[in-house]
Structure 1
Amino acid sequence: MAATKSGRLPGRHRRPAERQATYGEVIALGEFRALWIGQGLSLLGDQLSRVALSVLVFEGTQSALATASVYALTYLPPIIGGPLLAGLADRYPRRRIMIICDVLRAVMVALMAIPGTHFLALCVLVFCVVLLSAPFSAARAALLPELLEGDRYVAGSALQNMTNQGAQMLGFAVGGALIMGMGPYRALALDAATFMASALIIVSGVRRRRAPVRSDAGRPSMWTMTRTGAKLVFGDRRLRTLVLFAWLCGFYVLPEGIATPYAARLTDDPGQISFVAGLLMGAMPTGTVVGAFLFSRYVPPSKRLRAMGWMAMLTCAPLILCVMRPPLAAVLILWFISGVGGAYQLAANAAFVQCVPAEQRGQAFGLVQSGLLASQGVGILIGGAAANPLGPELVVAMAGAAGLVSAAALAVLWRGSRGEVIEKVRAEATS
């Protein structure tokens, strides 16, 4: 056999090609399909309700801080109850947890849809609805690796991620126009219906499974499970870095929380504020849909992990240019590019699954999700408070600069711990 110009024999020392799962084979699985469709319905209603709440509060107060405060309530509750409630996903059957959470949220959002609901009551209901998202999200995230193995998990995560962002894109962009015609209260009623539809889909499409912790006598307390989960997540350098990558979104999601006051600076027509705000809120999710498709479809598993740091920096860098106060079209492009970079979360999620034992996934995912929502909520609250004296453009630029510095630091940390994870992913992709 003839040698090549490099002196190596053809085929020697060549790694086997990494197999990439297709979307078709993932969608063909009935249980995944049920989770996917149910999630898409409820998320679409959620984004519609967020626009409704944002417009409702801004019209009543004309305050960026009040608007951001209510918007932040859709992220902050996990700080208090998320870590504890997420452990339910490892303590009880995950299907049952999801169904109960959906039904309870449907009831509470229906109460929010009653015209004339007091502002404080509205805030309490929003808080409780989001609080229940912690055990629901933990149960769904822990169940997904049981349904999808290897690169199928990444393909399924990409589909869910694109669905999440697509729901945001439609809920935000179309939501502004819909609310102009149907009013915010009817939009909230529609959100309640999507939660109930999600529960029915899970009942019919996801089979029953036993709880991960099967022995009642051997079940640890919720506090013990929370403490053990925190030790697992933050005691491992790889997991700790991956968690910080996930929480980086607190910087680049901040613009969504002040999109309404930002829109007020971009248009002189008060009747167009809700429409422009919907366009702004939908720009990043649209970018993430495109980024997630390209990242999962055309980039091999190991290269996704190598590109994480650069992609994370891409989410924040474009926001810095908002300091120049560009027109609406330019702002939409900048926020779209930021959303494309957000596709790095797919790789971070897949790597996290590789490093967490199956019986602790609910608690681990719950802790990460709680911190994820908390970082977004705190960022939005700070951004809303700063937008009044500084202006929304400068606040968005400052968030982008702080996020870029943080992403660069995480990229350096990840280089020192990614080797073992890459080998695991490569082994699964070639098996």
Structure 2
Amino acid sequence: MGAMRARRPPGRHRRAGQERQVTYREVIAVREFRALWYGQGLSLLGDQLAQVALAVLVYDRTGSPLATAAVYALTYLPGIVGGPLLAGLADRFARRGVMLACDLLRAVLVGVMAVPGVPFWALCALVFLVVLLSAPFSAARAALLPEVLEGDAYVMGSALQNMTNQAVQMLGFAAGGALIATMGPYRALALDAATFLGSALILVSGVRRRPAAQPDGAKPSMWTMTKGGARLVFGSRKLRTLVLFAWLCGFYILPEGLAAPYAAALHTGALPVPVITGLLMAAMPAGTVVGAFLFSRFVSPPRRLRLMGWMAMLSCAPLIVTAIRPPLAVVLAAWVLSGIGGAYQLAANAAFVQSVPPERRAQAFGLVQSGLMTVQGIGILVGGFAAERLGPEPVVALAGIAGVISAAVLAMVWTESRDKAARVSAQATA
């Protein structure tokens, strides 16, 4: 443990002003990062099985795109309601301890869900609590990562985590239908509970203890922290713009909520509807894996910020092709390309981290994450309502058009803000 403390994460040895691209090998060599990386991937894999089963089951029972999208959107509600308040726990208490507590509690709750015969209302309540606990866990992990990795190492570590998460989602979505048909929903839930326990064990063995980010004598109330975090995030034009870039995903995530009814519309008999559903839900994560690798590995840090607006537009533009009702292969290609464009989130995330004080990162990340849940949930719900009347294809295309327009506006604001900052810096240097 002492040797691990002495080890400097990649990027700390650089002199001021230098910007060296870090390799994936250097990032993976950091033991604490590996623990965060493995634990996140393990628990996410279990979650995807339940998500696919839920989408297919609801649509099979109701035949309603609105009902399917509503249930999918319902999983975002706890993060919207409790995220801003609970995320501050990761600033008030030791972040590793917060993550362990959340993992253990979620393992117990999901274990209860795996018991046959649990009433439907109880299942809904348990799902609400499980998703609610993801808010402080995600905030703690997001705030801890910049302490483990600094500078460009943080970007590379974020890219590696993002690629892994998307690959796990792709695998879970693509194979989820077949696995659920073989295992059944209760065994899938039991497996999900086991992944939370595995994540907790990895964190205990691989992440060292750190004190709370805020001293014991300087811990304001949760409500005061939430208000202070909101002023911090939305009081700065730069942070506001970066947050809106992050929330842009509400447009290009919408198709995932319509995957089951879209699969029914594309069904021609060659592939079963659950298989088409899984392929559609896996397409964007697949593109994100490719985009994150290319964007982090072959684009320099300063250039990532310059390309952020263009990549954001790319994340939405391919969705417009669905207006002409193309075949499955074209839809999959368009959704993969959209996922590639979503790699701009790496640059936005890194810029956001650099602009937020370390002792307030968890609260700031929690507010952004809550907003993400809100825009995604509302977007999917509105999309389902519209698809009930128009069909999934034109709704996805409309989301793409609205997303491109929003991304273009943000790109102009970001360019103006970046150019102004560059002029101020040049004047100060002169």
TM over 0.5: yes
- Aligned position for 1:232: 232
1:226-375 alignment, distance < 5 Å:
226-269=226-269, 272-375=272-375
Counterpart in 2 of 1:210?
Answer: 211
Letter in structure 1 aligned against 2:190: A
Aligned-pair CA distance for 1:180? 2.2
Q: Which runs of 5+ in 1 are unaligned?
A: 1-15, 425-431
Cα deviation for residue 118 of structure 1 reads 3.4
Q: Structure 1 359/419 Cα, relative in aligned 2: closer, same or farther at 3 Å? A: farther
| Change in CA separation of 1:421 and 1:96 when aligned onto 2, cut-off 3 Å | farther
* CA deviation after TM superposition for structure 1 residue 268, in Å: 4.2
Structure 2 residue aligned with 1:413: 413
Separation in structure 2 between the aligned mates of residue 79 and residue 70 of structure 1, nearest angstrom = 15
Task: Please report the RMSD computed on the Cα atoms of aligned residues, expressed in angstroms.
Answer: 1.9
Figure out how many residues of one structure are paired with residues of the other and give that number: 409
Give the corresponding residue for 2:132.
Answer: 131
Q: How far did residue 234 of structure 1 move?
A: 0.1
Question: Structure 1 residue 270: deviation in Å?
Answer: 11
- Match status 1:220 vs 2:207: no
Q: Write the deviation string for residues 267-305 of structure 1: whole angstroms up to 9, x where unpaired.
A: 145981111100000000000000000000000000000
* Partner secondary structure for residue 287 of structure 2: helix
Residue pair 1:86, 1:363 contacting (<8 A) in 2 also? yes
CA–CA distance in 1 between the matches of 2:365 and 2:343? 18
Cα deviation 1:146-202 (Å, max 9, x = unaligned): 010110000000001101111110110111221222222222221111111111110
SS of residue matched to 2:77: coil
Secondary structure of 1:48's match? helix
Aligned equivalents of 2:423, 2:58: Cα separation in 1: 50
> How has the CA–CA distance of structure 1 residues 120 and 261 changed in structure 2, closer, same or farther, with 3 Å as cutoff?
farther
**Which sits farther off after the overlay, 112-121 or 143-152?**
112-121
d(CA) in 1 for partners of 2:420 and 2:36?
A: 31
The equivalent of 1:194 in structure 2 is 195
Partner SS for 2:150 = coil
Deviation at 1:422, TM superposition (A): 7.7
Kindly indicate whether residue 61 of structure 2 is the aligned counterpart of residue 32 of structure 1: no
Q: In 1, are the aligned partners of 2:19 and 2:152 still within 8 Å (CA)? A: no
| In 2, Cα distance between equivalents of 1:405 and 1:275 | 33
Q: Unaligned regions of 5+ residues in structure 2, if any?
A: 1-16, 425-430
Work out the percentage of aligned pairs sharing the same amino acid. Answer: 71
Q: Deviations over 1:22-78 (max 9, x none)?
A: 011111011110000000001111111110111222222222222111211222222
Taking the aligned partners of 2:28 and 2:206, their CA distance within structure 1 comes to 13
Q: Which structure 2 residues correspond to residues 45-64 of structure 1 after superposition, within 5 A?
A: 45-64=46-65
Q: Shift in Å at residue 266 of structure 1? A: 1.1
Q: Is the Cα contact below 8 Å between 2:72 and 2:257 reproduced in 1?
A: yes
Task: Report the AA paired with residue 375 of structure 1.
Answer: V
1:383 is matched with: 383
Question: Structure 1 residue 109 and structure 2 residue 104: aligned?
Answer: no
Moved segments of 4+, more than 4 Å: 268-271, 419-424
TM-score, scaled relative to structure 2: 0.92
What is the CA–CA distance in structure 2 between the aligned matches of 1:261 and 1:108, rounded to whole Å? 30
The alpha-carbon distance between structure 1 residues 313 and 395, as it changes in their structure 2 partners (threshold 3 A), is same
**Distance in 1 between residues matched to 2:352 and 2:128, nearest whole Å:** 28
Task: Provide the TM-score with structure 1 as the length reference.
Answer: 0.91
Q: SS of the counterpart of 2:272?
A: helix
